[in-house]
């Protein structure tokens, strides 16, 4: 029986393939369509620094759209302010921006004090100023350290938290808490500084002046960090004004506006006239004016200016009372008041309405993180997907404040 060998013959020959390279193949390629891919960044993504979800639309590596989705941390703070007594609402202010609780306490207390028409003792104003400026430094240390962590630089995070831990120990000594303080009260502060506290604050200022140089050299002037942030996420001065940005987001675009100087409260007018501090502004030193690098460097420079303010207070503080005389059951005269203060992230405003009772009729809050966030929809399109983390981190939002 003879064996027969069967050879395989391909169904599509080389000649067929060459023929297909003509009109038919060209028509086939014209029928191919692609659509943008929607990517959920968050609410569990570490770079969002909280439970915030950003819906990113991308065409390959190019971002074509971004939309923040909020509400995962909503706690009805403003409505609670209309259902509890004036002093009882103070602990809720700690939970807006939980990285700068001292400043939140101050903003609410100033609004109530404006309705009351009372004068705060000078020593209380001095201690308030020291606490809010130290809290500004602590907040910027978190923003700076975690921003480096987002971009792959782990060491600066440890350096920043080394000094922040010292600040939290100082806060713990003066009020017993490390994060949510409720220390700045309506009429002043809860208690005077304990013995030796002011001297330790001065010691911290001496050490921090040296450590700040390490932060700048280690991260801000790092070649890789500059490449990841310079010319990225540019916010022009016109965009910053159109979107109503405040704080480092606004000053990073070169707009010279700071509520401590331009709408002064407490002792800041006196401190400014004494020539103690300056307002850091973005300048496009490493790239374009208003890029991610500018916004981060403004925060780094602000820490040095806060140290100058604290030193002035330490040099001028005098003995005296730390809280004004107030009735145990606080009744606020009828009226309305708005007070905005310069928080680490921008203008924190409280609008309060009273009918003369023990509870506010209206309590509304202008959160800087909430107002700074919409710019992402404008600056993220036409950037690369890899730059999304750098752009989002440069806005320095706190989710407790965006949702409230």
Q: What is the CATH number of the domain that holds 348?
A: 1.10.645.10
Does residue 339 lie within any of the structural domains?
yes
Give the CA dihedral 373, 374, 375, 378, nearest 10 degrees: 140
Does residue 24 lie within any of the structural domains?
no
Extended strands (E) in 130-227: 184-185, 188-189
Q: Is the pLDDT of residue 23 over 80?
A: no
Task: Work out the average pLDDT over 307-329.
Answer: 93
Model pLDDT, residue 134: 97
d(CA 204, CA 209): 9
pLDDT band at residue 35 using 50, 70 and 90 as cut-offs = confident
What are the backbone dihedrals phi and psi of residue 338, each rounded to the nearest 5 degrees, phi first? -130, 130
d(CA 334, CA 354): 5
3-state helix, strand, coil in the chain (%, to 5): 50, 15, 40
155-175 vs 197-215: helix crossing angle, rounded to 10: 170
292-316 vs 197-215: helix crossing angle, rounded to 10: 160
pLDDT greater at residue 102 or residue 50 = 102
Does residue 30 lie within any of the structural domains?
no
Does residue 17 lie within any of the structural domains?
no
Whose tokens are 């009805």? That residue is 76
pLDDT band at residue 44 using 50, 70 and 90 as cut-offs = confident
Q: Answer yes or no: pTM beyond 0.85.
A: yes
pLDDT band at residue 378 using 50, 70 and 90 as cut-offs = very high
d(CA 398, CA 49): 7
- Segment among 10-14, 66-70, 232-236, 369-373 with least mean pLDDT: 10-14
Task: Work out the average pLDDT over 388-396.
Answer: 91
Structure tokens that stand for 288 in this block: 């374009």
- Partners of 273 in beta bridges: none
- Segment among 70-79, 170-179, 183-192 with least mean pLDDT: 70-79
Does residue 270 lie within any of the structural domains?
yes
Does residue 12 lie within any of the structural domains?
no
Q: Report the chain's terminal Cα–Cα distance, integer Å.
A: 90
Query: CA geometry: angle at 287 spanning 286 and 290, to 5°?
Result: 110
Does residue 29 lie within any of the structural domains?
no
> Edge to edge, what strands does the sheet with 37-41 contain?
37-41, 53-59, 62-69
Does residue 21 lie within any of the structural domains?
no
pLDDT in tens, 205-230: 999 999 999 888 989 999 999 999 99
Contact 234, 290 (CB under 8 A): yes
- Segment among 16-20, 36-40, 305-309, 363-367 with least mean pLDDT: 16-20
Number of domains in the chain: 1
Q: What Å distances lie between residue 247 and 26, 184, 242, CA to CA?
A: 55, 22, 15
* Domain that residue 91 falls in: 39-403
Q: Which range in 51-60, 127-136, 217-226 is most confidently predicted, on average pLDDT?
A: 127-136
Backbone angle region of 234, left / alpha / beta, with phi > 0 → left and psi within -120 to 50 → alpha: beta
* 371 closest CA partner among 341, 339, 349, 393: 349
What are the backbone dihedrals phi and psi of residue 102, each rounded to the nearest 5 degrees, phi first? -60, -45
Tell me the three state secondary structure of residue 153.
coil
Q: What Å distances lie between residue 401 and 140, 145, 315, CA to CA?
A: 16, 20, 34
The DSSP annotation for 71-131 comes to -TT---HHHHHTTSBTGGGHHHHHTSSTT-HHHHHHHHHHHHHHHHT----HHHHHHHHHH
Contact 126, 142 (CB under 8 A): no
Contact 77, 404 (CB under 8 A): yes
Q: Which residues contact 354 (CB under 8 A, 6 or more apart)?
A: 115, 332, 333, 334, 335, 336, 360, 361
d(CA 366, CA 128): 21
């Amino acid at each position: 029986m003879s064996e027969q060998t069967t050879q395989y013959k391909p169904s599509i020959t080389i000649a067929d393939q060459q023929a297909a390279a003509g009109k038919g193949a060209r028509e086939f390629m014209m029928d191919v369509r692609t659509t943008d891919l929607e990517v959920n960044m968050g609410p569990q993504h570490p770079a969002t620094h909280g439970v915030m979800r950003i819906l990113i639309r991308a065409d390959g590596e190019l971002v074509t759209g971004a939309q923040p989705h909020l509400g995962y941390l909503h706690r009805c703070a403003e409505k609670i302010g209309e259902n509890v007594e004036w002093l009882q609402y103070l602990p809720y202010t700690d939970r807006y921006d939980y990285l700068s609780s001292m400043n939140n306490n101050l903003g609410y207390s100033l609004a109530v004090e404006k309705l009351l028409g009372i004068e705060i003792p000078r020593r209380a104003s001095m201690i308030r100023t020291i606490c809010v400026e130290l809290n500004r430094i602590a907040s910027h240390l978190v923003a700076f350290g975690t921003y480096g962590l987002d971009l792959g630089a782990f060491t600066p995070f440890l350096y920043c938290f080394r000094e922040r831990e010292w600040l939290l120990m100082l806060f713990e000594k003066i009020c017993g808490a490390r994060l949510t303080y409720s220390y700045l009260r309506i009429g002043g502060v809860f208690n005077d500084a304990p013995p030796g506290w002011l001297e330790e604050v001065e010691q911290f200022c001496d050490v921090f002046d040296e450590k700040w140089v390490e932060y700048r050299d280690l991260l801000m002037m790092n070649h890789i960090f500059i490449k990841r942030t310079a010319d990225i996420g540019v916010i022009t001065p016109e965009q910053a004004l159109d979107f109503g940005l405040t704080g480092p987001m606004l000053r990073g675009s070169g707009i010279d506006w700071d509520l401590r100087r331009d709408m002064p409260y407490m002792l800041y007018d006196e401190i400014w006239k004494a020539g103690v501090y300056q307002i850091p502004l973005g300048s496009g030193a490493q790239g374009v004016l208003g890029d991610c690098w500018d916004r981060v460097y403004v925060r780094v420079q602000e820490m040095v200016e806060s140290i100058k303010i604290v030193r002035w207070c330490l040099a001028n503080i005098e003995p005296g009372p730390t809280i004004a005389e107030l009735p145990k059951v606080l009744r606020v005269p009828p009226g309305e008041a708005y007070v905005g203060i310069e928080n680490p992230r921008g203008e924190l405003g409280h609008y309060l309405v009273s009918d003369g009772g023990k509870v506010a009729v209206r309590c509304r809050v202008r959160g800087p993180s909430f107002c700074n966030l919409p710019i992402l929809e404008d600056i993220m399109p036409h950037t690369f997907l890899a730059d999304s983390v750098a752009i989002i981190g440069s806005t320095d939002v706190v989710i407790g404040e965006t949702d409230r």
